[in-house]
Chains A and B, each alone.
Chain A
Protein backbone atom coordinates (compact mmCIF):
# COMPACT_ATOMS: atom_id res chain seq x y z
CA UNK A 1 0.00 0.00 0.00
CA UNK A 2 1.41 3.38 -1.07
CA UNK A 3 0.48 6.27 1.23
CA UNK A 4 0.40 9.86 0.07
CA UNK A 5 -1.35 13.07 1.02
CA UNK A 6 -2.74 13.93 -2.38
CA UNK A 7 -3.24 11.60 -5.33
CA UNK A 8 -3.73 13.19 -8.74
CA UNK A 9 -5.21 11.04 -11.52
CA UNK A 10 -4.12 12.39 -14.90
CA UNK A 11 -0.97 14.31 -15.81
CA UNK A 12 -2.56 16.78 -18.21
CA UNK A 13 -2.78 20.55 -17.67
CA UNK A 14 -5.26 20.26 -14.77
CA UNK A 15 -3.51 17.36 -13.06
CA UNK A 16 -0.01 18.82 -13.26
CA UNK A 17 -1.23 22.17 -11.91
CA UNK A 18 -3.13 20.44 -9.10
CA UNK A 19 0.06 18.63 -8.16
CA UNK A 20 1.99 21.92 -8.13
CA UNK A 21 -0.31 23.68 -5.70
CA UNK A 22 -0.70 20.62 -3.47
CA UNK A 23 3.09 20.24 -3.29
CA UNK A 24 3.51 23.97 -2.62
CA UNK A 25 1.15 23.54 0.33
CA UNK A 26 3.52 20.89 1.71
CA UNK A 27 1.60 17.75 0.76
CA UNK A 28 3.26 14.65 -0.63
CA UNK A 29 1.83 14.00 -4.08
CA UNK A 30 1.56 11.00 -6.38
CA UNK A 31 0.45 11.58 -10.00
CA UNK A 32 -0.75 8.64 -12.10
CA UNK A 33 -0.92 8.90 -15.90
CA UNK A 34 -2.08 6.18 -18.28
CA UNK A 35 -0.05 7.33 -21.27
CA UNK A 36 3.69 6.79 -21.44
CA UNK A 37 4.31 10.54 -21.39
CA UNK A 38 2.91 13.33 -19.21
CA UNK A 39 1.32 16.53 -20.51
CA UNK A 40 -2.09 15.30 -21.60
CA UNK A 41 -3.26 17.00 -24.75
CA UNK A 42 -0.78 19.88 -24.40
CA UNK A 43 1.87 17.69 -26.04
CA UNK A 44 0.26 18.11 -29.47
CA UNK A 45 -0.92 21.70 -29.33
CA UNK A 46 1.46 23.53 -31.63
CA UNK A 47 -0.69 26.66 -31.67
CA UNK A 48 -0.04 29.59 -29.37
CA UNK A 49 -2.36 30.04 -26.43
CA UNK A 50 -4.68 32.98 -26.00
CA UNK A 51 -5.66 34.46 -22.64
CA UNK A 52 -3.22 36.22 -20.39
CA UNK A 53 0.42 35.67 -19.60
CA UNK A 54 -0.65 33.84 -16.44
CA UNK A 55 -1.96 30.94 -18.53
CA UNK A 56 1.01 31.00 -20.87
CA UNK A 57 -0.58 33.12 -23.61
CA UNK A 58 1.65 33.33 -26.71
CA UNK A 59 3.39 30.12 -25.61
CA UNK A 60 2.76 27.04 -27.72
CA UNK A 61 0.94 24.25 -25.88
CA UNK A 62 3.77 21.82 -26.65
CA UNK A 63 6.18 23.95 -24.59
CA UNK A 64 4.00 24.07 -21.46
CA UNK A 65 4.38 20.53 -19.99
CA UNK A 66 8.13 21.05 -19.61
CA UNK A 67 7.51 24.26 -17.63
CA UNK A 68 5.02 22.53 -15.34
CA UNK A 69 7.21 19.44 -14.90
CA UNK A 70 10.25 21.52 -13.99
CA UNK A 71 8.18 23.22 -11.26
CA UNK A 72 7.26 19.78 -9.95
CA UNK A 73 10.88 18.65 -10.02
CA UNK A 74 11.76 21.38 -7.53
CA UNK A 75 9.79 19.46 -4.87
CA UNK A 76 12.11 16.45 -5.19
CA UNK A 77 10.84 13.18 -3.76
CA UNK A 78 7.69 14.86 -2.36
CA UNK A 79 6.17 14.47 -5.82
CA UNK A 80 6.13 11.17 -7.70
CA UNK A 81 4.91 10.88 -11.29
CA UNK A 82 4.12 7.41 -12.62
CA UNK A 83 3.38 7.15 -16.34
CA UNK A 84 2.01 4.04 -18.14
CA UNK A 85 -0.13 3.64 -15.06
CA UNK A 86 -3.87 3.10 -15.49
CA UNK A 87 -6.12 3.67 -12.49
CA UNK A 88 -8.57 0.79 -12.21
CA UNK A 89 -10.75 1.79 -9.30
CA UNK A 90 -11.58 4.12 -6.44
CA UNK A 91 -13.11 2.23 -3.52
CA UNK A 92 -15.42 3.16 -0.65
CA UNK A 93 -12.57 3.26 1.85
CA UNK A 94 -10.64 5.71 -0.34
CA UNK A 95 -8.23 3.07 -1.64
CA UNK A 96 -7.24 3.54 -5.27
CA UNK A 97 -5.94 0.67 -7.40
CA UNK A 98 -3.82 1.01 -10.52
CA UNK A 99 -1.94 -1.11 -13.04
CA UNK A 100 1.63 -0.01 -13.76
CA UNK A 101 3.25 -1.01 -17.07
CA UNK A 102 0.50 -3.54 -17.62
CA UNK A 103 2.03 -5.89 -15.03
CA UNK A 104 2.42 -4.33 -11.59
CA UNK A 105 -0.68 -3.87 -9.47
CA UNK A 106 -0.58 -0.89 -7.08
CA UNK A 107 -2.77 0.04 -4.14
CA UNK A 108 -2.72 3.61 -2.89
CA UNK A 109 -4.25 5.20 0.17
CA UNK A 110 -4.33 8.97 -0.33
CA UNK A 111 -5.82 11.48 2.11
CA UNK A 112 -7.39 13.29 -0.86
CA UNK A 113 -7.75 12.51 -4.56
CA UNK A 114 -8.00 14.86 -7.53
CA UNK A 115 -9.62 13.28 -10.59
CA UNK A 116 -8.24 15.15 -13.60
CA UNK A 117 -8.87 12.51 -16.24
CA UNK A 118 -9.73 14.95 -19.02
CA UNK A 119 -12.08 14.15 -21.85
CA UNK A 120 -12.54 11.88 -24.87
CA UNK A 121 -13.52 12.79 -28.41
CA UNK A 122 -17.04 11.91 -29.39
CA UNK A 123 -17.75 9.61 -32.29
CA UNK A 124 -20.37 10.17 -34.98
CA UNK A 125 -22.70 7.42 -36.17
CA UNK A 126 -23.08 6.96 -39.93
CA UNK A 127 -22.82 4.02 -42.29
CA UNK A 128 -19.23 2.78 -42.30
CA UNK A 129 -18.14 5.09 -39.49
CA UNK A 130 -15.91 2.41 -37.96
CA UNK A 131 -13.55 2.09 -40.95
CA UNK A 132 -9.84 2.63 -40.33
CA UNK A 133 -9.07 6.11 -41.69
CA UNK A 134 -11.92 7.66 -39.70
CA UNK A 135 -10.21 9.16 -36.69
CA UNK A 136 -10.82 11.66 -33.94
CA UNK A 137 -9.38 15.03 -34.97
CA UNK A 138 -7.36 15.13 -31.75
CA UNK A 139 -5.99 11.68 -32.50
CA UNK A 140 -4.75 12.90 -35.88
CA UNK A 141 -3.21 15.91 -34.14
CA UNK A 142 -1.30 13.52 -31.87
CA UNK A 143 -0.17 11.42 -34.80
CA UNK A 144 1.16 14.47 -36.67
CA UNK A 145 2.49 16.74 -33.97
CA UNK A 146 3.80 14.21 -31.47
CA UNK A 147 4.91 11.40 -33.74
CA UNK A 148 5.61 13.30 -36.97
CA UNK A 149 3.37 11.01 -38.99
CA UNK A 150 0.82 12.22 -41.53
CA UNK A 151 -2.55 10.50 -41.26
CA UNK A 152 -2.88 10.10 -45.03
CA UNK A 153 -3.10 11.98 -48.29
CA UNK A 154 -6.46 13.77 -48.31
CA UNK A 155 -8.71 14.62 -45.38
CA UNK A 156 -12.36 15.54 -44.91
CA UNK A 157 -12.80 17.31 -41.56
CA UNK A 158 -16.18 17.00 -39.86
CA UNK A 159 -16.71 19.85 -37.40
CA UNK A 160 -15.78 23.52 -37.64
CA UNK A 161 -15.28 24.14 -33.93
CA UNK A 162 -11.87 25.24 -32.73
CA UNK A 163 -10.36 21.76 -32.75
CA UNK A 164 -11.64 21.04 -36.27
CA UNK A 165 -10.33 24.35 -37.58
CA UNK A 166 -6.97 24.19 -35.81
CA UNK A 167 -6.29 20.58 -36.79
CA UNK A 168 -7.24 21.35 -40.41
CA UNK A 169 -4.64 24.11 -40.47
CA UNK A 170 -2.08 21.82 -38.86
CA UNK A 171 -2.82 19.18 -41.51
CA UNK A 172 -1.92 21.77 -44.15
CA UNK A 173 1.27 22.58 -42.23
CA UNK A 174 2.16 18.89 -42.33
CA UNK A 175 1.64 18.77 -46.10
CA UNK A 176 -1.72 16.98 -46.11
CA UNK A 177 -4.52 18.10 -48.41
CA UNK A 178 -7.77 19.13 -46.68
CA UNK A 179 -10.64 18.59 -49.11
CA UNK A 180 -13.17 20.50 -47.01
CA UNK A 181 -14.36 21.22 -43.49
CA UNK A 182 -18.01 20.38 -42.75
CA UNK A 183 -20.23 21.54 -39.94
CA UNK A 184 -23.80 20.47 -39.28
CA UNK A 185 -24.58 23.86 -37.75
CA UNK A 186 -25.53 26.77 -39.99
CA UNK A 187 -22.50 28.74 -38.79
CA UNK A 188 -18.86 28.14 -37.93
CA UNK A 189 -18.49 27.29 -34.24
CA UNK A 190 -14.79 28.07 -33.77
CA UNK A 191 -12.96 31.38 -33.68
CA UNK A 192 -13.13 33.22 -36.99
CA UNK A 193 -9.39 33.89 -36.85
CA UNK A 194 -8.82 30.13 -37.32
CA UNK A 195 -11.50 29.86 -40.05
CA UNK A 196 -9.99 32.80 -41.94
CA UNK A 197 -6.57 31.12 -42.05
CA UNK A 198 -8.11 28.06 -43.69
CA UNK A 199 -10.12 30.08 -46.17
CA UNK A 200 -6.99 31.97 -47.19
CA UNK A 201 -5.41 28.60 -47.95
CA UNK A 202 -8.38 27.78 -50.20
CA UNK A 203 -10.06 25.20 -47.96
CA UNK A 204 -13.86 25.33 -48.30
CA UNK A 205 -15.84 25.37 -45.05
CA UNK A 206 -19.32 23.97 -45.70
CA UNK A 207 -21.84 24.84 -42.99
CA UNK A 208 -25.17 22.93 -42.77
CA UNK A 209 -23.31 19.90 -44.14
CA UNK A 210 -22.29 16.59 -42.68
CA UNK A 211 -20.92 13.18 -43.58
CA UNK A 212 -23.62 10.58 -44.27
CA UNK A 213 -21.68 7.49 -45.40
CA UNK A 214 -18.18 6.12 -45.62
CA UNK A 215 -16.90 3.93 -48.44
CA UNK A 216 -13.99 1.51 -48.35
CA UNK A 217 -13.12 -2.14 -47.86
CA UNK A 218 -10.30 -2.48 -45.34
CA UNK A 219 -9.86 1.29 -44.91
CA UNK A 220 -11.48 4.55 -45.97
CA UNK A 221 -11.62 5.41 -49.68
CA UNK A 222 -14.32 8.11 -49.84
CA UNK A 223 -17.15 9.71 -47.90
CA UNK A 224 -20.58 10.86 -48.92
CA UNK A 225 -21.54 14.32 -47.67
CA UNK A 226 -24.91 16.01 -47.82
CA UNK A 227 -26.48 19.34 -47.04
CA UNK A 228 -28.67 19.39 -43.92
CA UNK A 229 -32.02 21.05 -43.38
CA UNK A 230 -32.95 23.15 -40.36
CA UNK A 231 -33.65 19.98 -38.39
CA UNK A 232 -30.20 18.54 -39.27
CA UNK A 233 -31.70 15.93 -41.64
CA UNK A 234 -29.85 15.32 -44.96
CA UNK A 235 -31.57 16.96 -47.94
CA UNK A 236 -32.25 14.36 -50.66
CA UNK A 237 -30.42 15.04 -53.89
CA UNK A 238 -27.59 17.04 -52.27
CA UNK A 239 -25.40 13.97 -51.61
CA UNK A 240 -21.98 13.91 -53.21
CA UNK A 241 -18.98 11.68 -52.96
CA UNK A 242 -15.59 13.06 -51.91
CA UNK A 243 -12.47 10.93 -52.30
CA UNK A 244 -10.38 10.85 -49.14
CA UNK A 245 -8.32 8.35 -47.17
CA UNK A 246 -8.88 10.12 -43.85
CA UNK A 247 -11.99 11.59 -42.28
CA UNK A 248 -11.50 13.46 -39.01
CA UNK A 249 -14.37 13.65 -36.56
CA UNK A 250 -14.39 16.78 -34.45
CA UNK A 251 -17.85 16.94 -32.96
CA UNK A 252 -17.02 17.71 -29.37
CA UNK A 253 -15.64 16.08 -26.28
CA UNK A 254 -17.14 14.17 -23.38
CA UNK A 255 -15.76 14.38 -19.84
CA UNK A 256 -14.16 11.16 -18.60
CA UNK A 257 -16.11 10.51 -15.42
CA UNK A 258 -15.95 6.70 -15.19
CA UNK A 259 -13.75 6.72 -12.09
CA UNK A 260 -15.92 9.34 -10.40
CA UNK A 261 -19.01 7.31 -11.20
CA UNK A 262 -17.35 4.19 -9.80
CA UNK A 263 -16.42 6.07 -6.64
CA UNK A 264 -20.11 6.82 -6.20
CA UNK A 265 -20.00 10.53 -7.01
CA UNK A 266 -23.35 12.01 -8.04
CA UNK A 267 -23.29 12.86 -11.75
CA UNK A 268 -25.56 15.28 -13.59
CA UNK A 269 -26.16 15.63 -17.32
CA UNK A 270 -25.19 19.18 -18.22
CA UNK A 271 -24.94 19.56 -22.03
CA UNK A 272 -23.17 22.92 -21.73
CA UNK A 273 -20.34 21.24 -19.82
CA UNK A 274 -20.05 18.37 -22.32
CA UNK A 275 -22.34 15.69 -20.86
CA UNK A 276 -22.31 13.84 -17.55
CA UNK A 277 -20.21 15.64 -14.95
CA UNK A 278 -19.80 15.19 -11.22
CA UNK A 279 -21.63 17.50 -8.88
CA UNK A 280 -19.05 19.46 -6.94
CA UNK A 281 -19.07 22.20 -4.33
CA UNK A 282 -17.23 25.52 -4.47
CA UNK A 283 -14.08 23.68 -3.31
CA UNK A 284 -14.33 21.29 -6.31
CA UNK A 285 -15.12 18.41 -3.93
CA UNK A 286 -17.55 15.86 -5.36
CA UNK A 287 -20.32 14.25 -3.32
CA UNK A 288 -17.70 11.66 -2.30
CA UNK A 289 -15.69 13.03 0.60
CA UNK A 290 -12.05 13.87 -0.23
CA UNK A 291 -12.53 13.22 -3.97
CA UNK A 292 -12.09 16.36 -6.05
CA UNK A 293 -12.34 16.98 -9.79
CA UNK A 294 -11.03 19.66 -12.16
CA UNK A 295 -10.29 20.41 -15.78
CA UNK A 296 -12.02 18.79 -18.77
CA UNK A 297 -13.21 15.90 -16.56
CA UNK A 298 -15.56 18.39 -14.93
CA UNK A 299 -16.27 20.82 -17.76
CA UNK A 300 -15.11 20.89 -21.39
CA UNK A 301 -13.06 24.01 -21.77
CA UNK A 302 -9.65 25.16 -22.94
CA UNK A 303 -6.35 24.05 -21.43
CA UNK A 304 -5.78 27.53 -19.99
CA UNK A 305 -8.90 27.17 -17.81
CA UNK A 306 -8.00 23.57 -16.96
CA UNK A 307 -4.65 24.75 -15.57
CA UNK A 308 -6.30 27.31 -13.31
CA UNK A 309 -8.95 24.83 -12.16
CA UNK A 310 -6.14 22.38 -11.41
CA UNK A 311 -4.31 24.97 -9.30
CA UNK A 312 -7.47 25.43 -7.25
CA UNK A 313 -8.24 21.72 -6.91
CA UNK A 314 -4.71 21.06 -5.66
CA UNK A 315 -5.08 23.82 -3.11
CA UNK A 316 -8.38 22.39 -1.84
CA UNK A 317 -7.23 18.75 -1.85
CA UNK A 318 -4.10 19.66 0.13
CA UNK A 319 -6.26 21.54 2.61
CA UNK A 320 -8.43 18.45 3.09
CA UNK A 321 -5.28 16.39 3.54
CA UNK A 322 -4.22 18.77 6.32
CA UNK A 323 -1.90 21.11 4.43
CA UNK A 324 -2.98 24.69 4.16
CA UNK A 325 -1.00 26.64 1.54
CA UNK A 326 0.78 29.62 3.11
CA UNK A 327 -0.78 31.94 0.54
CA UNK A 328 -4.09 30.08 0.44
CA UNK A 329 -6.43 33.07 0.32
CA UNK A 330 -4.37 35.09 -2.16
CA UNK A 331 -3.89 32.12 -4.47
CA UNK A 332 -7.56 31.16 -4.32
CA UNK A 333 -8.71 34.71 -5.06
CA UNK A 334 -6.17 35.06 -7.85
CA UNK A 335 -7.20 31.79 -9.53
CA UNK A 336 -10.89 32.57 -9.23
CA UNK A 337 -10.23 35.94 -10.79
CA UNK A 338 -8.31 34.33 -13.66
CA UNK A 339 -11.21 31.93 -14.30
CA UNK A 340 -13.69 34.80 -14.30
CA UNK A 341 -11.55 36.58 -16.92
CA UNK A 342 -11.18 33.44 -19.05
CA UNK A 343 -14.92 32.85 -18.91
CA UNK A 344 -15.81 36.50 -19.34
CA UNK A 345 -16.05 36.57 -23.12
CA UNK A 346 -18.77 35.35 -25.42
CA UNK A 347 -17.41 31.81 -25.60
CA UNK A 348 -17.19 31.57 -21.81
CA UNK A 349 -20.84 32.38 -21.29
CA UNK A 350 -22.07 28.83 -21.85
CA UNK A 351 -19.49 27.50 -19.36
CA UNK A 352 -20.68 29.91 -16.68
CA UNK A 353 -24.30 28.99 -17.45
CA UNK A 354 -23.42 25.26 -17.33
CA UNK A 355 -21.69 25.63 -13.99
CA UNK A 356 -24.76 27.44 -12.68
CA UNK A 357 -26.98 24.60 -13.96
CA UNK A 358 -24.76 22.10 -12.15
CA UNK A 359 -24.82 24.08 -8.92
CA UNK A 360 -28.59 24.47 -8.78
CA UNK A 361 -29.81 21.19 -10.19
CA UNK A 362 -30.88 18.35 -7.92
Chain B
Protein backbone atom coordinates (compact mmCIF):
# COMPACT_ATOMS: atom_id res chain seq x y z
CA UNK B 1 0.00 0.00 0.00
CA UNK B 2 1.45 3.36 -1.03
CA UNK B 3 0.94 5.67 1.91
CA UNK B 4 2.13 8.87 0.25
CA UNK B 5 -0.71 11.31 -0.43
CA UNK B 6 -0.77 11.84 -4.19
CA UNK B 7 -3.53 14.45 -4.37
CA UNK B 8 -4.85 16.73 -1.67
CA UNK B 9 -7.55 19.43 -1.85
CA UNK B 10 -5.48 21.96 0.14
CA UNK B 11 -1.87 20.89 0.29
CA UNK B 12 0.62 20.56 -2.52
CA UNK B 13 3.54 18.40 -1.49
CA UNK B 14 5.31 19.03 -4.81
CA UNK B 15 8.04 16.65 -5.85
CA UNK B 16 10.55 16.75 -3.02
CA UNK B 17 14.05 15.38 -3.49
CA UNK B 18 14.42 11.69 -2.71
CA UNK B 19 16.55 10.86 0.33
CA UNK B 20 18.07 7.40 0.51
CA UNK B 21 18.61 5.78 3.87
CA UNK B 22 19.18 2.39 5.41
CA UNK B 23 16.80 0.71 7.83
CA UNK B 24 17.95 -2.54 9.46
CA UNK B 25 19.96 -3.39 6.36
CA UNK B 26 17.23 -2.44 3.84
CA UNK B 27 17.76 0.45 1.42
CA UNK B 28 14.69 2.72 1.64
CA UNK B 29 13.77 6.05 0.08
CA UNK B 30 12.25 8.99 1.93
CA UNK B 31 11.73 12.60 0.95
CA UNK B 32 13.52 15.80 1.83
CA UNK B 33 11.79 17.33 4.86
CA UNK B 34 10.66 13.96 6.28
CA UNK B 35 11.24 13.08 9.90
CA UNK B 36 12.84 9.64 10.18
CA UNK B 37 9.60 8.22 11.62
CA UNK B 38 7.51 9.68 8.76
CA UNK B 39 9.86 8.27 6.13
CA UNK B 40 9.68 4.84 7.75
CA UNK B 41 5.87 5.02 7.97
CA UNK B 42 5.65 5.94 4.29
CA UNK B 43 7.64 2.77 3.61
CA UNK B 44 5.15 0.71 5.61
CA UNK B 45 7.40 0.42 8.69
CA UNK B 46 5.19 0.90 11.75
CA UNK B 47 7.24 -1.03 14.31
CA UNK B 48 10.20 1.12 15.32
CA UNK B 49 11.41 -0.77 18.39
CA UNK B 50 10.44 -3.30 21.04
CA UNK B 51 9.96 -2.58 24.72
CA UNK B 52 12.70 -3.56 27.12
CA UNK B 53 10.68 -5.56 29.66
CA UNK B 54 7.84 -7.24 27.78
CA UNK B 55 9.21 -7.08 24.25
CA UNK B 56 6.06 -5.31 23.03
CA UNK B 57 6.23 -3.65 19.60
CA UNK B 58 6.62 0.13 19.69
CA UNK B 59 5.49 2.73 17.14
CA UNK B 60 5.44 6.50 17.37
CA UNK B 61 2.65 8.10 19.40
CA UNK B 62 2.93 11.88 19.81
CA UNK B 63 5.13 12.98 16.86
CA UNK B 64 6.29 16.02 18.83
CA UNK B 65 9.31 14.49 20.58
CA UNK B 66 7.60 14.01 23.89
CA UNK B 67 6.52 10.42 24.50
CA UNK B 68 9.78 8.57 23.70
CA UNK B 69 7.88 5.77 21.94
CA UNK B 70 9.76 6.34 18.64
CA UNK B 71 13.32 6.07 19.89
CA UNK B 72 15.70 4.27 17.54
CA UNK B 73 19.40 3.92 16.89
CA UNK B 74 20.53 6.44 14.26
CA UNK B 75 24.09 6.41 12.90
CA UNK B 76 25.18 4.44 15.94
CA UNK B 77 23.52 6.74 18.49
CA UNK B 78 20.79 5.03 20.56
CA UNK B 79 17.59 6.65 21.88
CA UNK B 80 17.16 9.16 19.05
CA UNK B 81 13.64 10.58 18.91
CA UNK B 82 12.93 9.78 15.28
CA UNK B 83 9.69 11.78 15.11
CA UNK B 84 11.54 15.11 15.51
CA UNK B 85 14.79 14.19 13.77
CA UNK B 86 15.19 15.20 10.15
CA UNK B 87 15.97 12.39 7.69
CA UNK B 88 19.34 12.81 5.99
CA UNK B 89 20.95 11.14 2.99
CA UNK B 90 22.76 7.93 3.89
CA UNK B 91 21.45 7.71 7.45
CA UNK B 92 21.69 4.29 9.07
CA UNK B 93 18.58 3.69 11.14
CA UNK B 94 18.15 0.60 13.31
CA UNK B 95 15.35 -0.76 15.47
CA UNK B 96 16.27 -0.10 19.04
CA UNK B 97 17.83 -3.26 20.37
CA UNK B 98 15.01 -4.46 22.59
CA UNK B 99 16.21 -2.35 25.47
CA UNK B 100 19.55 -4.07 25.61
CA UNK B 101 21.46 -1.74 23.33
CA UNK B 102 24.49 0.04 24.67
CA UNK B 103 23.54 3.32 26.26
Contacts and interface: CB of A to CB of B under 8 A. Distances in A.
Contact of B8 (A35, A130, A136, A173): A173
Given A136-B62, A173-B10, A150 B5 contact: yes
Contacts of B13: 148
A218 B10 CA distance: 33
Contacts of B38: 142-143, 146-147, 149
B103 interface: no
Contacts of A147: 31, 33-35, 38-39, 42
A46 interface: yes
Q: At the interface, is chain A mostly helix, strand, loop or mixed?
A: loop
B25 to A, nearest CB: 18
Interface in B43-65: 46-48, 51, 56-65
A102 B84 CA distance: 11
Q: At the interface, is chain B mostly helix, strand, loop or mixed?
A: loop
Given A36-B85, A149-B4, A175-B5, A132 B46 contact: yes
Contacts of B84: 34-36, 84
A138 B34 contact: no
A35 B3 contact: no
Contacts of B5: 144, 148-150, 174-175
Given A36-B84, A36-B85, A147-B35, A123 B65 contact: no
Interface of B: 1, 3-5, 7-11, 13, 31, 33-35, 38-39, 41-42, 46-48, 51, 56-67, 69, 77, 80, 83-86
